[in-house]
């Protein structure tokens, strides 16, 4: 990869938590030699325990990986001092940044600093979509590179590795794990709906057959457009009235918020990977 890799806290946590025991992603990142702002590492340490782990082994693996981060750290003072302490103030004014100096702010400043010093484009990886919107114009205006999310990074890694090193099935596995992190409640609703659909499809009467077909179409809609699909599911189940339908409706009513933007993207990418041929560049190594 020719771009300089800059990582944000949310993406680092996601990558560490979805990585396998073989640590493919961790090894790839270490070889890429990313830059990570000091504040970002502090945010990783403060936030990586906020979601439950699959098991104790998973937690231990993440804590081991966190220790590797310091070798890529750029001190906040080194970022702040670029251009005689002027750049950070200019960045805040340009982006209208009103919050305290956080990881996304320091990472954007680090992108400008490294791009200017090494005359290369940067790739800033963050799953914070409001931050992407906040700093997108700064990246364009200064031509310092691109802001992408963890999904984009996984696709980039896939397309720049040989198939036997990182397969399409591995990519789908990582996407599925990341999707589950952002939509555990929604995935549970999908499983409940699939169970209802399977039960209806086994019946011989016309009414249940139509129910099974309708639920199958709604599940496919959720795969493509989660927010629209879940809304359609709620409206349809309200007319069913069975105990299983009411359980799903109750689950729908207790979702804390609408599907986050990144979850909708993950569902769409997962659907595309499973249902379409993805043409991959023929990588040759000498």
Based on the domain organization, do 251 and 214 belong to the same domain? Answer: yes
Task: Name which residue leads in pLDDT, 64 or 144.
Answer: 144
Q: How confident is the model at residue 257 (pLDDT cuts 50, 70, 90)?
A: low
Bridge partner list, 5: 123
Sign (positive/negative) of CA torsion 112, 138, 80, 86? Answer: positive
**What's the pLDDT at 184?**
81
Residue 177 lies in a domain: no
Sheet bearing 4-7, strands edge to edge: 4-7, 122-125, 145-148
Structural domain boundaries, residue 77 = 4-167
Based on the domain organization, do 72 and 10 belong to the same domain? Answer: yes
70-79, 156-165, 169-178, 274-283: the lowest-pLDDT one: 274-283
**What's the pLDDT at 284?**
54
Asked if residue 15 has pLDDT above 60, the reply is yes
Residue 189 lies in a domain: yes
Based on the domain organization, do 141 and 209 belong to the same domain? Answer: no
**What's the pLDDT at 259?**
66
Based on the domain organization, do 159 and 105 belong to the same domain? Answer: yes
Q: How confident is the model at residue 283 (pLDDT cuts 50, 70, 90)?
A: low
What phi and psi, each to the nearest 5 degrees, are found at residue 168? Answer: -60, -35
| Segment 98-102 mean pLDDT | 91
Mean model confidence pLDDT for the chain: 90
Torsion angle (degrees, nearest 10) of CA 252, 254, 257, 258: 0
Asked if residue 124 has pLDDT above 60, the reply is yes
Based on the domain organization, do 126 and 33 belong to the same domain? Answer: yes
**What's the pLDDT at 43?**
97
The total domain count for the chain is: 2
**What's the pLDDT at 155?**
95
| Segment 63-67 mean pLDDT | 88
Asked if residue 285 has pLDDT above 50, the reply is no
Q: How confident is the model at residue 196 (pLDDT cuts 50, 70, 90)?
A: very high
Based on the domain organization, do 115 and 222 belong to the same domain? Answer: no
Q: How far apart are CA 272 and CA 113, in angstroms?
A: 37
| Segment 172-188 mean pLDDT | 88
Q: How far apart are CA 226 and CA 222, in angstroms?
A: 4
Asked if residue 199 has pLDDT above 80, the reply is yes
| Segment 113-117 mean pLDDT | 96
Asked if residue 163 has pLDDT above 80, the reply is no
Q: How confident is the model at residue 55 (pLDDT cuts 50, 70, 90)?
A: confident
Total count of residues recorded for the chain: 286
Distances (CA, A) of 252 to 7, 41, 212, 229, 286: 34, 36, 19, 12, 53
Asked if residue 256 has pLDDT above 70, the reply is no
Asked if residue 286 has pLDDT above 50, the reply is no
CATH code of the domain covering residue 62: 3.40.50
Based on the domain organization, do 205 and 139 belong to the same domain? Answer: no
Please, where are the H alpha helices in the chain?
9-18, 24-32, 38-47, 56-66, 76-80, 86-95, 103-118, 129-142, 150-159, 168-182, 184-201, 206-224, 226-237, 243-253, 261-275
Based on the domain organization, do 162 and 188 belong to the same domain? Answer: no
Based on the domain organization, do 233 and 95 belong to the same domain? Answer: no
**What's the pLDDT at 181?**
84
Asked if residue 35 has pLDDT above 50, the reply is yes
Q: How far apart are CA 75 and CA 277, in angstroms?
A: 44
């Amino acid at each position: 990869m020719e771009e300089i890799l800059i990582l944000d806290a949310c993406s680092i946590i996601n990558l560490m938590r979805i990585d396998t025991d073989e640590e493919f992603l961790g090894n790839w990142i270490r070889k890429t030699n990313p830059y990570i702002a000091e504040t970002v590492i502090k945010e990783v340490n403060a936030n990586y325990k906020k979601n439950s782990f699959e098991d104790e082994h998973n937690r231990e693996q993440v804590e081991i990986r966190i220790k590797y981060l310091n070798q890529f750290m750029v001190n906040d003072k080194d970022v702040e001092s670029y251009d005689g302490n002027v750049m950070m103030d200019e960045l805040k004014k340009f982006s209208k940044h009103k919050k305290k100096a956080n990881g996304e702010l320091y990472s954007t400043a680090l992108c400008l600093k490294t791009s200017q010093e090494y005359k290369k484009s940067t790739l800033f990886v963050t799953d914070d979509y409001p931050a992407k919107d906040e700093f997108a114009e700064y990246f364009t205006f200064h031509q310092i590179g691109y802001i992408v999310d963890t999904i984009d990074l996984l696709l980039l890694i896939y397309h720049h590795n040989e198939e036997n090193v990182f397969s399409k099935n591995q990519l789908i596995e990582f996407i599925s794990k990341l999707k589950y992190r952002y939509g555990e409640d929604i995935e549970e609703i999908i499983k409940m709906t699939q169970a209802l659909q399977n039960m209806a499809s086994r019946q011989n009467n016309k009414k249940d057959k139509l129910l099974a077909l309708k639920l199958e179409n709604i599940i496919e809609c959720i795969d493509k457009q989660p927010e629209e699909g879940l809304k359609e599911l709620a409206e349809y189940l309200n007319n069913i009235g069975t105990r299983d339908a009411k359980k799903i409706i109750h689950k729908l009513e207790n979702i804390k918020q609408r599907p986050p933007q990144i979850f909708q993207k993950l569902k769409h990418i997962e659907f595309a990977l499973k249902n379409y041929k993805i043409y991959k560049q023929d990588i040759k190594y000498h």
